[in-house]
Amino acid sequence: MSTFVRILVAIGLLVVCAATALLGVWSPADAKLWEMRFAAADRAPSADIVFVDIDADSLTAIGTWPWPRSLHAQMLDSLMALGAYEVAFDIDFSARSRPAEDAAFARSLEDAGGYAYLAAFRQRTASGADSWSRPLPEFQAHAKEALVNVDGLKAGLIWSLPGWDASTGLPSIAARFNSDEVLPASLRIDYGINLNRIVSVSAKALLNNAVDPALVEGKQVIIGTSAIELHDLLMAPRFGVLPGAMVQVAAAETLRLGRALIDLGPWPSLVLAALLLLGSTLLPKLKLDRAIGIVLTSSLAVEGLSFGLYALLALQMETAPYHALAASLLIIRLIDERVVRRRELRRQHARLFYLANHDEQTGALSQRAWIDAAERWIGQNRLAGALLIRVEQAENAGASLGFHLADEAIRQFYNRLHAAVLGPVARLESQVFAVGLDVLLTGGELSVLIEGLEQPYAIEGHRIALKVRWGSAAFEHGKSAVLLLQEARTALAMARRKHLGGSAYAADFEIQFQRRRQVDLALRSAIARNELDLAFQLQVETHTRKVVGVEALLRWQSAELGWVSPGEFIPLAEESGSIVQLGNWVAHEACRRAVESGWTGRLSINIAPAQFVASDVVAMVQSALESGFPANRLDVEITEGIVAGGHLSIVETLERLRAIGVSIAIDDFGTGHSSLSYLASLPIDKIKIDQSFVRQMHTARGAEVIKTIAALGKALALSIIVEGVETEGELAILGDLDCDLVQGFLFGKPGPLPTDGAGQTQAA
């Protein structure tokens, strides 16, 4: 709840609380509380006041009512004879009875010498006028009147009686009995005084002279009736049904003990309630259990205060309004708590829903949500295609700059992508995003998009460049979003395989990938099934055409797939790692066969980059040389890329190979992207110029490249071999360009190892 709402609620509560308190809504509850307080206080009466009870038994003994006045006279005489101090009759003497009886009573009153009081009371007639019931004049001549009215009816209970009659000034019995006390207009009775302990004497016993004088001597006596048939019964707090006369006794005792209560009404309670409200509104919100504790404690404290004021100062304060307000505060708090919890729950649900449908880091859709969105588009005929974009270099950036920068780069990347396209964007993997397209992008549009994404990202002072690769698939009627996504994935994988910037899905991609899986699977058992073989390609001196070496080339005749070209299975073996086993087999087999056939020339074997990374090439070569083939006739061909990086551990491996006498040749030279400058610093012996240069040799530029490389090689004391020589013309040009060796179909297809040794044969 906002503070404003809380204040409004607080004011509303206070108004309701005050209104209900003033309307007496809480009176029954307060009555119950007061009954408890009275019972808890439980004071002893003064014992100065005695009740003479015309009880049911006394009525039965006499048999008639009203009693002959002579009986009242007799009771008065007896009491006076027993030494009673004063006697008050709570009995109606306003009507005449038999003259003799009235005379007898008047005589007794006269004898009492002014120490007898007779009841006078005001009644309201049916017409609404006041009518007084007052003792007969002849009685009044000897006895004063005493008011016996009660008032202060609240919650059906008698709380007070008038100290005197306001219009006539007639004092109550309590006032008559306590003439020296200060008299309040309304005398609130302290029911804490235990009325059960008031000395009560039966009228019958009194008439029979059977009363112990000690009970009456020096006491003030009130005569009244408890007989139900006489209908002088009232409801009082704590004691329930009381004879009217007993209420007079209670009032007289209250005054005697100086306990006339002062009614404070609901106001103190309301003030305290206002303070509680103020606290709960303005102070910081407490935890529920603490709030409950504090409110309950405050209620107890208010209860204690009320009891203390009553017990010590005779002040009567209502507390029910306070408790009611405290309870409603708690209820509101509980409701509030539930509302807050429900809101919290709803928020959590929303969050969960969001997380289920989004990538938390970037805010991109999840794959599931993307598919849903794409399906909706399909339903609206909007979907034209899917574009997958893979960020290729963020991981490297992470390794060198810290992962939070890479994460931030990905976030910004997503923002750029999201801003650049219209359709739904999802993050499928940490590096892969999918975009739904409503129009297929043209090549130009795609380039603009990719270029935009590859613009460096400025993050914390760094400029991070990301490289991306894409795969796309076009939607066709009948395709599902899932299938479309799958096709885009396939296109992306194909682009990756082919080292392309991206590719659009074509139907034969699936076939290619299936073929790949088949080749990969079959290759794993190729060695065990003895399906591998070696072909040897001659290496020939350019000028003399003498065969000086051979390159061992792997051949595979698969039982299931038939002949598979190394151009197909070697890259696959490099990816899957099986190249380590294959390379090992080639090295051993080539050396073994060379030794076996008495080959006296050089032997070249190809070693793939993956072998350097994943195995101990030196140990492998040494093991192959155990066949007896001399190390100084062995060439190891490596690709340009692997040394161009200047990777220290690979350079070290090459040095160790050279240390045991093996020569190193750089295969396919010129196809890598590296500069020539690294050549000088590398442990190599031979450069093998790639056949693509031979194909371009008929152009001036192609010839120039070969010439330059050959010259550079010579300058570095490296020997030069050119591969892919197919014609005599090519051979002639290469001879002029100062290339030592050549290799190519001009001298035959790769085949079995020549049996007559090297140097003997002149290649055809």
Tokens of 332: 């509101």
Tokens of 752: 């079995």
566 lines the binding site for ligand C2E (CB under 6 A) = yes
**Chosen from ligand C2E, Mg ion, none, partner binding at 372 (C-beta under 5 to 8 Å by type):** none
553 lines the binding site for ligand C2E (CB under 6 A) = yes
Q: Is the omega angle on the peptide bond into residue 66 within 30 degrees of 0, that is, cis?
A: yes
Tell me the β-bridge partners of 529: none
**Chosen from ligand C2E, Mg ion, none, partner binding at 565 (C-beta under 5 to 8 Å by type):** ligand C2E
Which among 124-132, 313-321, 343-351, 565-573 is the span making contact with ligand C2E, rule CB under 6 A?
565-573
Task: Give the shortest CB-565-to-ligand C2E separation in angstroms.
Answer: 5
By beta-carbon proximity to Mg ion, the closer residue of 152 and 672 is: 672
417 lines the binding site for ligand C2E (CB under 6 A) = no
Which among 170-178, 423-431, 474-482, 719-727 is the span making contact with ligand C2E, rule CB under 6 A?
719-727
The amino acid at 690? D
By beta-carbon proximity to ligand C2E, the closer residue of 617 and 682 is: 617
Q: How many CA atoms lie within 13 A of 434 on its CB side?
A: 29
565 lines the binding site for ligand C2E (CB under 6 A) = yes
Contacts of 460 (CB under 8 A, 6+ apart): 405, 408
User: Which parts of 620-639 interact with ligand C2E (CB under 6 A)?
Assistant: 637
The amino acid at 646? G
By beta-carbon proximity to ligand C2E, the closer residue of 510 and 726 is: 726
Contacts of 85 (CB under 8 A, 6+ apart): 115, 218, 219, 220
Task: Give the shortest CB-570-to-Mg ion separation in angstroms.
Answer: 10
580, 589 contact by CB (below 8 A): no
By beta-carbon proximity to ligand C2E, the closer residue of 98 and 524 is: 524
**Chosen from ligand C2E, Mg ion, none, partner binding at 608 (C-beta under 5 to 8 Å by type):** ligand C2E
CA angle at residue 15 from 9 to 20, to 5 degrees? 125
By beta-carbon proximity to Mg ion, the closer residue of 441 and 554 is: 554
Q: CA 720 to CA 471: how far, in whole Å?
A: 41
**Chosen from ligand C2E, Mg ion, none, partner binding at 567 (C-beta under 5 to 8 Å by type):** ligand C2E
The one among 319, 362, 606, 663 contacting ligand C2E by CB under 6 A? 606
Q: CA 252 to CA 51: how far, in whole Å?
A: 11
By beta-carbon proximity to ligand C2E, the closer residue of 363 and 566 is: 566
549 lines the binding site for ligand C2E (CB under 6 A) = no
The one among 195, 409, 522, 570 contacting ligand C2E by CB under 6 A? 570
Sequential DSSP letters for 365-397 = BPHHHHHHHHHHHHHTT---EEEEEEE-SHHHH
Residues that bind Mg ion (CB under 5 A): 606, 637, 667-668
Task: Give the shortest CB-733-to-ligand C2E separation in angstroms.
Answer: 15
C-alpha of 432 from chain center: 29
Count residues near ligand C2E (CB under 6 A).
24
537 lines the binding site for ligand C2E (CB under 6 A) = yes
640 lines the binding site for ligand C2E (CB under 6 A) = no
User: Which parts of 688-707 interact with ligand C2E (CB under 6 A)?
Assistant: 691
Tokens of 635: 């060439």
Q: Radius of gyration (Cα) for the chain, nearest Å?
A: 60
Which residue shows structure tokens 């892969």?
432
554 lines the binding site for ligand C2E (CB under 6 A) = yes
Tell me the β-bridge partners of 240: 236
478 lines the binding site for ligand C2E (CB under 6 A) = no
Q: CA 587 to CA 468: how far, in whole Å?
A: 38
Residue 730 vs residues 337, 393, 451, 726: alpha-carbon distances, Å: 91, 42, 42, 7
> Would residue 402 be called left, alpha or beta, if left means φ above 0 and alpha means ψ between -120 and 50 degrees?
left
Task: Give the shortest CB-653-to-ligand C2E separation in angstroms.
Answer: 15
Q: CA 516 to CA 529: how far, in whole Å?
A: 19
The one among 324, 744, 754, 758 contacting ligand C2E by CB under 6 A? 744
By beta-carbon proximity to ligand C2E, the closer residue of 318 and 667 is: 667
Which among 6-14, 256-264, 334-342, 605-613 is the span making contact with ligand C2E, rule CB under 6 A?
605-613
By beta-carbon proximity to ligand C2E, the closer residue of 583 and 601 is: 583
Q: In 3D, which of 45, 79, 40 has the Cα closest to residue 249?
A: 45
By beta-carbon proximity to Mg ion, the closer residue of 517 and 695 is: 695
Give the torsion through C-alpha atoms of 554, 557, 562, 565, to 10 deg. Answer: 0
745 lines the binding site for ligand C2E (CB under 6 A) = yes
Q: In 3D, which of 577, 656, 579, 646 has the Cα closest to residue 622?
A: 656
Q: Rule CB under 6 A: which residues touch ligand C2E?
A: 537, 553-554, 565-567, 570, 583, 586, 606-608, 637, 667-668, 691, 723-726, 743-745, 750
